[in-house]
């Protein structure tokens, strides 16, 4: 359904049963899957906010089936010829969320109100990014991460973690893991992998590689957690070190179940 005053530019592609509400703009370089809903004032496929961009460049935005883009959210197309900014299936962008050029937001991710993703950001499947959070360009957010509201994210966030404030890891997203229906053994392995990486001194990439070599990646989830540290350009968010005199539990911050 295309509501009155919605703008669908020539060349835009819409799948079956999409709903484009009043005053929404679907740019000529946008490709929408089936059952995508775009609310009033949203702009999908707008030009990237990049000073050197040539508007004649044929680049794209692709939105997966069942995604919802709420009021005044913006999704910019890529700065590179033939490349795509991607929103995954069933992703939910709340009001005023911004997805910059060349981002990839994977399936079932949620960006709350006023989230700001700079260019080249990757958001993993099933993530929740809290309201007003700002994410630096080229940051990778692993699957199943929960980012607190108003957080400032400048470093990569390992899968299945909780992160708030400025790159402060506070533990595993245990609630999210249980909601996924993961068995206790898998959660136990993730806890062991978390400790192996964050609770020892040394280069974090080396620690993750050593944990993999020691067999800690038995479950697929623990393996993906450890393999995440082999890549990236921004460095990695870490837990805040306890201050002198603070009480510390045996499992560390965020590890209690």
pLDDT digits (tens, 9 = 90+) for 214-236: 998 899 999 999 999 999 989 99
Catalytic residue at 119? yes
- Residue 122 backbone phi and psi in degrees, to 5: -115, 125
Catalytic residue among 64, 88, 119, 131: 119
* Edge-to-edge order in the sheet of strand 30-32: 13-14, 30-32, 60-63, 84-87, 104-105, 122-123, 140-141
CA angle, 37 as apex, 34 and 38 as ends, to 5°? 130
| Angstrom distances, CA of residue 239 to CA of 131, 187, 194 | 21, 19, 10
For residue 254, pLDDT beyond 50: no
What's the confidence (pLDDT) of residue 244? 43
Mean pLDDT of 87-100: 98
Q: Which of 45, 101, 142, 144 is catalytic?
A: 101
Query: Annotated catalytic residue: which of 102, 108, 156, 167?
Result: 102
% pLDDT > 70, the chain: 94
Distance, CA of 70 to CA of 40 (rounded, Å): 7
Q: How far apart are CA 95 and CA 34, in angstroms?
A: 21
The predicted pLDDT at position 217 comes to 85
Cα–Cα distance, 234 to 238 (Å, whole number): 12
Domains of the chain: 7-175 (2.160.10.10), 180-239 (1.20.1180)
Average pLDDT over residues 101-129: 98
> pTM for this one?
0.92
23 sits in which H/E element: none
Q: What pLDDT score does 240 carry? A: 84
Give the CA dihedral 165, 167, 170, 173, nearest 10 degrees: 100
How far, CA to CA in Å, does 76 sit from each of 71, 95, 99, 118, 207?
Answer: 15, 15, 6, 10, 37
Distances (CA, A) of 223 to 86, 105, 227: 25, 21, 6
**Pick from 200, 220, 219: nearest CA to 210:** 200
pLDDT band at 245 (very low <50, low <70, confident <90, very high): very low
Tell me how far apart the alpha carbons of residues 65 and 34 are, in angstroms, rounded to a whole number. 5
For the question of residue 102 being annotated catalytic, the response is yes
Per-residue tokens: 109: 């991710």
Identify whether the C-beta of residue 20 lies closer than 8 Å to the C-beta of residue 8.
yes
Q: What is the average pLDDT score of the chain? A: 93
- Check: CB of residue 19 under 8 Å from CB of residue 37: yes
pLDDT band at 88 (very low <50, low <70, confident <90, very high): very high
């Amino acid at each position: 359904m295309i509501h009155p005053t919605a703008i669908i530019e020539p060349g835009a592609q819409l799948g079956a049963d999409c709903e484009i509400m009043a005053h929404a703009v679907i740019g000529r370089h946008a490709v929408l899957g089936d059952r995508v809903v775009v609310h009033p004032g949203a702009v999908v496929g707008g030009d990237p906010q990049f000073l050197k961009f040539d508007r004649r460049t044929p680049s794209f935005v692709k939105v997966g089936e069942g995604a919802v883009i709420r009021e005044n959210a913006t999704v910019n197309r890529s700065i590179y010829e033939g490349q795509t900014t991607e929103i995954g299936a069933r992703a939910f962008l709340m009001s005023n969320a911004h997805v910059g050029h060349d981002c990839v937001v994977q399936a079932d991710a949620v960006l709350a109100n006023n989230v700001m993703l700079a260019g080249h950001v990757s958001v993993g499947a099933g993530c929740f990014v809290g309201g007003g959070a700002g994410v630096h360009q080229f940051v990778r957010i692993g699957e199943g991460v929960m980012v607190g509201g108003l957080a400032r994210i400048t470093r990569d966030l390992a899968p299945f973690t909780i992160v708030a404030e400025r790159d402060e890891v506070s533990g595993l997203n245990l609630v999210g893991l249980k909601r996924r229906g993961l068995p206790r053994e898998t959660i136990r392995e993730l806890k062991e992998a978390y400790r192996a990486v964050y609770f020892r001194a040394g280069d974090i990439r080396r620690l993750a590689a050593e944990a993999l070599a020691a067999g800690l990646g038995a479950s697929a989830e623990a393996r993906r957690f450890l393999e995440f540290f082999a890549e990236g350009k921004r460095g990695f968010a870490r837990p805040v070190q306890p201050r002198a005199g603070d009480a510390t539990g045996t499992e560390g911050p965020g590890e209690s179940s």
